[in-house]
Amino acid sequence: MTTSLACKKDKNDDTSAINTSQPAGNKLSWWQPTTGVSFDWQLDDINSTANFSADVVDVDAFTTSAETVAALHAKGKKVIAYLSVGTIENDRNDASLIPAEVIGKQYPEWPKEKWLDIRQIDKLKPWLNSRLNMILKKGFDGIEPDNMDSYDNDPGFNIQIADVKKYADYLISLAHSNGLSIGQKNVKELTADYASKFDWALTEDAFAQGWQDQFSGYIKLNKPVFAVEYSDKMSQSNFQTNVCPSAKQLKYTAILKKRDLSQWVDRCN
């Protein structure tokens, strides 16, 4: 399965001091969206003047400031933090927190990223804690955990789907115990067991590649599926004529974006 090919620019944001302490983990509730909520996804740098028509917006955890998150909340939006949990990006300010023995091969599509050995969760905890503490400090409502598909790539470690499930369990517990929503990002093999655990799902190119039906388990639980298709794989007319009727039948929230996840978006009419 293909992980996002969205543009990942140099992002050296250092708006939050690194805090590797374990978050409090004393929350009993978190945001749980329901089927049909509108969605947009923008990894371009945004500021407090940004406007979105969607009710749920997914933005970069590092370059989006607390002030911008607060401004979006004031406009009635729920704000998801895009975050890699399966790779380390060498242009993030927390890269030094990763021990060398858990850093694997380069991610070919993204030369500044390397895969991580997600089997060694204890060694990743200071890094994960720093990212979660940043997200909490900025006031985000949820997490989009990217790059969970190392089992289906060449990470330099013998990672199996069972390892991904164990990691997913840890991340879900970490998010929920700190009052954060968390979604399943692609990895259709998780749906059967994890639609009841994650709060929503985000797919990329599912309709273009023909595996869109694999996420219907979320809809059965009244949890949204945010289905993102890309304009380099299909035209707007194809999106409107073919994807939108199918998405409506499946009760998915479908949008068409450019691969760089900039501001441009096309929605179903």
Tens digit of pLDDT for each residue in 80-103? 999 999 999 999 999 999 999 999
Contact between 146 and 85 under an 8 Å Cβ cutoff? The reply is: yes
HSE value, Cβ hemisphere, 13 Å, CA-based, for 251: 14
Domains of the chain and any CATH numbers: 39-267 (3.20.20.70)
Q: What does the pLDDT average to over 193-206?
A: 98
- H-assigned helices in 57-120: 66-74
Instruction: Report the b/e string of 105-130 with b at 16+ CB within 10 A.
Output: ebbeebebbbbbbbbebeebbbbbbb
Separation of alpha carbons 41 and 44, rounded Å: 9
* Helix/strand/coil for 214: helix
Confidence of residue 64 (pLDDT cuts 50, 70, 90): very high
Contact between 2 and 18 under an 8 Å Cβ cutoff? The reply is: no
Q: What is the pLDDT of residue 157?
A: 97
Contact between 150 and 159 under an 8 Å Cβ cutoff? The reply is: yes
Separation of alpha carbons 218 and 197, rounded Å: 10
Q: What does pTM read for this prediction?
A: 0.94
pLDDT digits (tens, 9 = 90+) for 7-23: 444 455 544 579 999 99
